[in-house]
Structure 1
Amino acid sequence: MHNIKVKTLGAVLAAFATLNTHAAESPETGEGSLFRSMFGDTLEKDYGITVSGLFDVAYTRNNRSTQAERQEGLSNLPLVGFSDEGLEWGSLHLFVDKALKGDMIPRITPLPGPTPTEASFGFTFEINYGRNAQFARTYGWDMHWDVNSPGDDDPAKAKRDKQKFLAVPNIAATAYLPYGPGITAMAGVFGPALGYEIPPNIRAARNPFASKTYAFVSEPGTVGGVQLGTRLYNGDAGILGVELGVVQGWDNLRDNNDGKSLVGAVRWRTADMQTWIDYEFILGDEQNDSFSDVQAPTSRLVSPDGQFKQQHSLNGWHRFDSNWSMGAEVVYGHQAGDGKASTIDIINGPGFDGAHWWGANAVLTYQQRPDLSYSVRAEHFADPDGFILLPVSTARGNFNAVTAGLRYDLNKYISLRPEVRYDVFDGNADDYPFGAGRDRTQLTGLVEALVYF
């Protein structure tokens, strides 16, 4: 379901090609092949504009749902990534991008090399159609497009019908200006790239599994606003970049309170780009001012007063050698609440007095050869107030998960990612997040096909 929260793309395609464990060894790939076969390569060669597509589909089953439950959608919850059992059309993406010629890729990374002396302008555009587009939408933008009816106002019907949605989670202009150390800018609707996992599942993405972490669910999917960045240092000690932006809020282009939010990051890389550490954050009031405009589930509070929300992620990656690499993340978040009767949680009622959550996860990957890798991931995520994982779960307690799988590039167009995942919940005695409220554990098997064109 929460592949749902599409957080990125655009120039990330170029960035991860630099950072990925097997980028330098990768054979020819199929991205953009359909467009080039139909229209030639003039657009890319002359203007630097790339057009590519990705179809993400999977078959899943778990050991907890009943046959009747499997006929409807979301029977894998709170597993995130692919939440319908059986064959699920997760997402069909179209990407159109013009990368910047600068020393920093917005939202992703500072780059090595000399500081460019000429201005550069670009853009990023992504359209997503499928089950996972339901929660990739942005309030005040694509949330209530006609194509998304009736499920946009009736989630229960969307669940029963396994309705597909249309979203445009990235539509932004970018620029590089050669002033001082160089300034990059992004303006529009875009994924903030907050957290270790950054979908969609492009070939070079740093998430090796189809299913996502609970930390991923806790992080914002899109933002609308402006973000600036600059590379502060580039030398033998590494590469350091910073970013800061002002946005409307979580998944929000139509501000529903009087305050904006700040997003930002500090990004450090070794000079050889084989190790990186990111600290990323979003801060700001996230309550709905009135019941006339409730942007749930992203913002589940209604209050006439500001209620401050914050999310922090410290994440990193290291390549040990040509075969082994590891990534990890620690997240912390807090939603303030003043406890007044006028501060209402749409789930638990008046008098909301705050909530917090935190988690840690790590993934280890063995790259046997350029077309075959194996990965294992472990996660602990604590949501004692049952607050941040809505709509995936409102269970109060600790989620633990272990996932093992592989990735095999069948050819330049198709990659297969089978995985096995085991989830365990420990928490409030009344809460059973798996099996439609009956169980505290779940074993899930999944086979994903990624089709690049």
Structure 2
Amino acid sequence: MYNIKIKTLGAAFVALAILDCYAVEAPARGEGMLFRELFGDTLERDYGITVSNMLDIGYTRNNRSTHDERNDGMSNMPITGFSDEGLELGGLHLFVDRPLQGVVVPRMTPLPGPKPEQFDIGFTFEAFYGRNAQFGRTFGWDMNWNMNEDDNDKARRDKKRFLAIPNFAATAYVPYGPGFNLMAGVFGPALGYEIPPNIRIARNPFASKTYAFVSEPGTVSGVLAGTRLLDGDPGILGLELGVVQGWYNLRDNNDNKSVLGALRWRTPDMNTWIDYEFIVGNEQNDSVSDVQAPVSRLIADSGQLKQQHSLNGWHNFNARWSMGAEVVYGHQAGDGKLSTVDVVTGPAFDGAHWWGANAVLTYQYRQDLSFSVRGEHFSDPDGFILFPTSTSGGDFNALTAGLRWDVNGNLTLRPELRYDWFDAREHDRPYGNGRDRTQLTAMVEALFYF
């Protein structure tokens, strides 16, 4: 069994921590560099369309897996972000966007300042190829493309890479009333503190993700509208509401819609923000011949309401210190009938709930170097919401420490150490392929922006 040499890894972190403290200017960002070199800047200058790429790769080890398990893949599970040990291509991303002039940045934030008075149209597109694309696919869209079809066990053994298009949506700004931003298509709902992917402005200081991140939907399809309710001394308040097909779904198989929404508040100086986000709707499969697992575990002949809520925020204390935090709660209804079947536990499903809290503290040592520590508690007593990464019933806990070093405008390094422990309701052991209740994991992530 592979054991991490903690002292050696600790020494590496200390060595980076004692780098010279002289001020260093933030490097110029490299996003879009390749496209501009090949085709010039006409598209962006004349039409406002940006094209950029990101390569997300990592190397990981944990102290619980065997040699054979590491070779088969996903031996870091239930940790998400980089699930395989060794070198992993998390994703090669292509982004093509025409951002809008408007009163909100859809799924992110309301904006201060005067309301634009002109109509505007745009779009957002993201495609990515790699191991993490397996968890970014959408039913009725890219889930069952030929290159994506494979049974889960074979994909794990072969460490198969997938292709996903999690964002493919049209956008528009309408200047009527307070002004409205509209979005229609397939898109990430940005529900929760962390959001995929690891773009530079994302709230993701670590290579690994929280359990709360796993519990939240990664893609939806439908329509979303946003507006600004306040812009003044009390702060900036934005509202978003949408109707979508459900979790990871373009072709919903229960003929019900879900409601997606958010209320977002910012201080006038944008140094503090608080978001409340939710998604609510029936998520059961109506037919045994069309089971959209693992996203939806239930088969039922009547509606089974599923809901997820996130209250998250961030505060910038000063030029050095900042902190983000999140509280999540979710519930899956179950009527207990014999016809209501959980594909994991069987008939007579009578409901499940989960909740969690996490916080991250960041110290900005230099403009190009920051250190962060994160703590999390996530309770999934029914072993429901983390499926398929885990079906263990109990409380997951994690402590993570790491840094972000922007080496230059194109390369960012994010090494981390993470310790997880599990308090079981009964006998479950989620780590080491069902053998252990603790795990120490080391990761080094490289992000290439070009």
TM-score of the superposed pair, with normalisation by structure 2: 0.94
Once residues 317 and 158 of structure 2 are traced to their aligned partners in structure 1, the CA distance between those partners, rounded to angstroms, is 46
Structure 1 partner of 2:73: 73
1:329 to 319, 326, 331: 326
How do 1:131-170 and structure 2 match up within 5 A?
Answer: 131-149=131-149, 151=150, 154-170=151-167
SS of the aligned residue for 1:437 comes to coil
Structure 2 partner of 1:256: 253
| Deviation of the 1:410 alpha carbon | 1.0
The letter for the 1-side match of 2:129 is: Y
| Deviation of the 1:28 alpha carbon | 1.0
> Mean alpha-carbon deviation: is it higher for 325-334 or for 198-207?
198-207
Once residues 117 and 396 of structure 2 are traced to their aligned partners in structure 1, the CA distance between those partners, rounded to angstroms, is 49
Q: CA-to-partner distance for each residue in 1:283-316, whole Å, 9 max, x for gaps?
A: 0000000111111111000001000000000000
| Deviation of the 1:258 alpha carbon | 2.2
Once residues 318 and 121 of structure 1 are traced to their aligned partners in structure 2, the CA distance between those partners, rounded to angstroms, is 32
Structure 2 partner of 1:378: 375
| Deviation of the 1:344 alpha carbon | 0.1
| Deviation of the 1:428 alpha carbon | 2.5
Structure 2 partner of 1:347: 344
Once residues 200 and 243 of structure 2 are traced to their aligned partners in structure 1, the CA distance between those partners, rounded to angstroms, is 30
Once residues 193 and 152 of structure 2 are traced to their aligned partners in structure 1, the CA distance between those partners, rounded to angstroms, is 28
Structure 1 partner of 2:44: 44
Structure 1 partner of 2:398: 401
Is the CA contact 2:196–2:218 (under 8 Å) kept in the aligned structure 1?
Answer: no
Aligned pair 1:265/2:297, yes or no?
A: no
> Mean alpha-carbon deviation: is it higher for 195-204 or for 347-356?
195-204
SS of the aligned residue for 2:135 comes to coil
Aligned pair 1:188/2:160, yes or no?
A: no
How do 1:386-425 and structure 2 match up within 5 A?
Answer: 386-425=383-422
How do 1:168-183 and structure 2 match up within 5 A?
Answer: 168-183=165-180
| Deviation of the 1:38 alpha carbon | 0.1
The letter for the 2-side match of 1:226 is: V
Once residues 74 and 163 of structure 2 are traced to their aligned partners in structure 1, the CA distance between those partners, rounded to angstroms, is 18
Once residues 245 and 196 of structure 2 are traced to their aligned partners in structure 1, the CA distance between those partners, rounded to angstroms, is 22
Aligned pair 1:94/2:74, yes or no?
A: no
SS of the aligned residue for 1:38 comes to helix
Once residues 274 and 120 of structure 1 are traced to their aligned partners in structure 2, the CA distance between those partners, rounded to angstroms, is 28
SS of the aligned residue for 2:293 comes to coil
Q: CA-to-partner distance for each residue in 1:297-355, whole Å, 9 max, x for gaps?
A: 11000001000000000000000000100000000000000000000000000000000
Q: CA-to-partner distance for each residue in 1:67-107, whole Å, 9 max, x for gaps?
A: 11110110000111000000001000000000000111111
Is the CA contact 2:401–2:418 (under 8 Å) kept in the aligned structure 1?
Answer: yes
Structure 2 partner of 1:35: 35
Once residues 199 and 303 of structure 1 are traced to their aligned partners in structure 2, the CA distance between those partners, rounded to angstroms, is 31
Aligned pair 1:296/2:293, yes or no?
A: yes
| Deviation of the 1:231 alpha carbon | 0.2
Once residues 267 and 292 of structure 1 are traced to their aligned partners in structure 2, the CA distance between those partners, rounded to angstroms, is 40
Once residues 246 and 201 of structure 2 are traced to their aligned partners in structure 1, the CA distance between those partners, rounded to angstroms, is 28
Structure 2 partner of 1:201: 198
Structure 2 partner of 1:7: none
Once residues 424 and 253 of structure 2 are traced to their aligned partners in structure 1, the CA distance between those partners, rounded to angstroms, is 33
Structure 2 partner of 1:126: 126
The letter for the 2-side match of 1:36 is: R
| Deviation of the 1:199 alpha carbon | 1.6
Once residues 393 and 26 of structure 1 are traced to their aligned partners in structure 2, the CA distance between those partners, rounded to angstroms, is 40
Structure 2 partner of 1:223: 220
SS of the aligned residue for 2:209 comes to coil
| Deviation of the 1:110 alpha carbon | 0.3
List alignment gaps of at least 5 residues for structure 1: 1-24
Structure 1 partner of 2:11: none
> 1:26–1:120: structure 2 CA closer, same or farther, 3 Å change rule?
farther
The letter for the 2-side match of 1:143 is: M
SS of the aligned residue for 1:287 comes to coil
SS of the aligned residue for 2:157 comes to helix
The letter for the 2-side match of 1:368 is: Y
Matched residue count: 426
Structure 1 partner of 2:20: none
Is the CA contact 2:27–2:406 (under 8 Å) kept in the aligned structure 1?
Answer: no
Structure 1 partner of 2:15: none
Once residues 38 and 381 of structure 1 are traced to their aligned partners in structure 2, the CA distance between those partners, rounded to angstroms, is 47
List alignment gaps of at least 5 residues for structure 2: 1-24
Is the CA contact 2:299–2:343 (under 8 Å) kept in the aligned structure 1?
Answer: yes
The letter for the 2-side match of 1:189 is: V
Once residues 73 and 181 of structure 2 are traced to their aligned partners in structure 1, the CA distance between those partners, rounded to angstroms, is 41
Once residues 429 and 147 of structure 2 are traced to their aligned partners in structure 1, the CA distance between those partners, rounded to angstroms, is 35
The letter for the 2-side match of 1:411 is: N
Is the CA contact 2:172–2:182 (under 8 Å) kept in the aligned structure 1?
Answer: yes
> 1:389–1:317: structure 2 CA closer, same or farther, 3 Å change rule?
same
Identical counterparts, % of pairs: 72
Once residues 414 and 314 of structure 2 are traced to their aligned partners in structure 1, the CA distance between those partners, rounded to angstroms, is 21
| Deviation of the 1:429 alpha carbon | 2.9
| Deviation of the 1:146 alpha carbon | 1.0
Structure 2 partner of 1:286: 283
Once residues 225 and 283 of structure 1 are traced to their aligned partners in structure 2, the CA distance between those partners, rounded to angstroms, is 14
SS of the aligned residue for 1:134 comes to helix
| Deviation of the 1:147 alpha carbon | 1.5
TM-score of the superposed pair, with normalisation by structure 1: 0.93
The letter for the 2-side match of 1:53 is: N
Is the CA contact 2:70–2:86 (under 8 Å) kept in the aligned structure 1?
Answer: yes
Is the CA contact 2:27–2:408 (under 8 Å) kept in the aligned structure 1?
Answer: no
1:363 to 330, 355, 360: 360
